[in-house]
Amino acid sequence: MNGTRVARGLMKMRLAASLIAAAAVLSCFGIGTAVAQEEVPKSGCDAFTWDVSHELAVLERPAKQLQAGRDGKSAPRVDLDEHYIVSLTPQEKVKFPAKPGKPPAAEGAHAGVIAFHAPAPGRYRISTTTGHWVDVVDGRFLVVSRDFQGQRGCEKVHKIVEFELSGNRDFIVQLSAGADEKAGLAVTRVRESG
């Protein structure tokens, strides 16, 4: 009889220990899940480290259709803060005002040029919905970009390239080395926070 009581007591202790262990595991799992949810990195359009709210707002507007130029003289002019869908040409048919900063892509690349006016000195951004290489040309010379950001998970924009430009001048944007025949595009001036 005593042996039976001892056996039952041991079984109850094992059961209690198992329940405590299970509760501890579940508790750790719950805590781990909460931590994992808090540490999930931002993605898509929320993952930019710049404030790109203005660029995203421009690209949400209805787009104007535009045929890109094949050289600097035929480059159509775009307005700041407008959304364009730019039709491009096979790259071998485009004569760039300046040699693109990226080597030519393989067969099937599309390219084109557009012009815009920078009314005042400051930072300007070229936003595109495709992976085309983006250059800005001042006269015959490439302007070195300040920085760029891209987010593959953002459906509104693929990348944004930022340039420091002098004011009251015309510039050329060269799109090159991309497979897409059309590109969504916007040229914006960075609004200084004050």
Structural domain tally of the chain?
A: 2
Residue 126 maps to a domain: yes
Q: Note the pLDDT of residue 18.
A: 52
Please give, one letter per residue, the 3-state secondary structure of 17-57.
Answer: HHHHHHHHHHHHHHHHHHHHHHCCCCCHHHHCCCCCHHHHH
Which pair of structure tokens corresponds to residue 186?
A: 């916007």
Would you place residue 35 in the very low, low, confident or very high pLDDT band (cuts 50, 70, 90)? very low
**104: in domain:** yes
Interatomic CA distance for residues 178 and 106, integer angstroms: 9
Looking at the structure, do residues 90 and 171 belong to the same domain, yes or no? yes
Mean pLDDT of the chain: 84
Which domain does 19 fall in, by range? 1-40
* CATH code, domain with 172: 2.60.120.380
Closest of 136, 140, 143, 146 to residue 116, by C-alpha: 136
Judgement on whether residues 33 and 105 belong to the same structural domain of the protein:
no
Alpha helices, DSSP H only, in the chain? 2-38, 53-60
Considering the entire predicted model, what is its pTM? 0.76
Establish if 194 belongs to a structural domain. no
Three-state DSSP class for residue 176? strand
